[in-house]
A = this chain, B = another copy of it.
Amino acid sequence: MSGRPTDPAPYYRLHVFCCTNRRADGHPRGSCAARGSEPLRDYLKQKARAAGIEDVRINAAGCLDRCELGPTMVIYPEGVWYRYETREDVDEILESHIKNGVRVGRLILRPEDGPNKEAKIA
């Protein structure tokens, strides 16, 4: 469990943040939106709603600062990061992780995947 015994109960069972930041074309870091995150995030939201999932929020987020690896999402409270490129990736994250808590190993990002630990407040 996250939090402390005295913290309020979670407002959402899971809170999913999909980076939808867009940088100008040609930026050396690229961006999740330039890599197609927006329609995939919309697809995940739509599929979650269609599945009747009411205790999870599928959120858009500004730059999560792992642009080079994008499109990226992070699921809290567990803090598990994914790279997702296709609707099939999104379907698997929804069915496996969001519905059943089973991590999708092939899509998980690890800290050592980078890009770095600098400029995290940028």
Contacts and interface: CB of A to CB of B under 8 A. Distances in A.
Given A11-B111, A59-B62, A60-B62, A76 B2 contact: yes
A4 B108 CA distance: 14
Please tell me how many copies of the chain the complex holds: 2
Range class of the A interface residue count:
35 or more
Interface in A41-93: 45, 48-49, 53-66, 74, 76-81
A103 to B, nearest CB: 7
A74 B53 CA distance: 21
Interface of A: 1-4, 6-12, 15, 17, 20, 45, 48-49, 53-66, 74, 76-81, 103, 108-111, 117-118, 120-122
